[in-house]
Structure 1
């Protein structure tokens, strides 16, 4: 199993690439091909095999409380990366809206 700190870095990288692809690639089939290639590159960069990543991710899917903790760290990591990027570009960080008071209705696609 991939250690949690490494899994956090991998997932943060994957979600960053995913967001960039969503912004710049219009066609779903092309986006999926680009994402698969980028994910493979990320795993290679971290020295992780696809099977190892899948097994670790499946573990977290079966242990939801641990998955929640993992993603809290991933979100914090992404926020820090965003702040650093904004600082490097001379952009003032925006204040975030507080969390909604009640349940959020599901998004309909």
Structure 2
């Protein structure tokens, strides 16, 4: 199973790419092809095999309380990333990344 911090980074990267694809590609078939390629690249970047990612994701699907905790950290991670991008674009102060109790925030890459 993939560790929780690594899974958070992977999911945050996947959701970021997914949002960019939704904004920029209007053809569903093309969007799906691009998403699949990008997801493979993300997994490769994190040194994770597709099978391991699927097995870990399926574990969380079968343990909804843990999935909820995982996604709390993913959402926090995405919020911090967004804040940092906005700060870089507009000079706004950056927020400190915090995770729910008992969870470790994923570092921004």
The TM tier, using the shorter chain, reads 0.7 to 0.9
The answer to whether the aligner puts 1:40 opposite 2:40 as a matched pair is yes
- TM-score w.r.t. structure 2 length? 0.83
State the aligned residue count: 93
Q: Deviations over 1:75-106 (max 9, x none)?
A: 0000000000000011658xxxxxxxxxxxxx
Runs of 4+ in 1 over 3 A off after TM superposition: none
CA distance 1:61–1:44, shift in 2 (3 Å): same
Q: Which residue of 1 aligns with 2:104?
A: none
Query: Unaligned regions of 5+ residues in structure 1, if any?
Result: 94-109
Q: Deviations over 1:23-47 (max 9, x none)?
A: 0000000000000000000000000
How far 1:16 moved relative to its partner? 0.1
Give, in whole Å, the separation in 2 of the partners of 1:18 and 1:24: 10
Q: Which residue of 1 aligns with 2:80?
A: 80
How large is the Cα RMSD of the aligned pairs? 1.1
Give, in whole Å, the separation in 2 of the partners of 1:81 and 1:49: 25
**Greater Rg over alpha carbons, structure:** 1
How far 1:3 moved relative to its partner? 0.2
How far 1:64 moved relative to its partner? 0.2
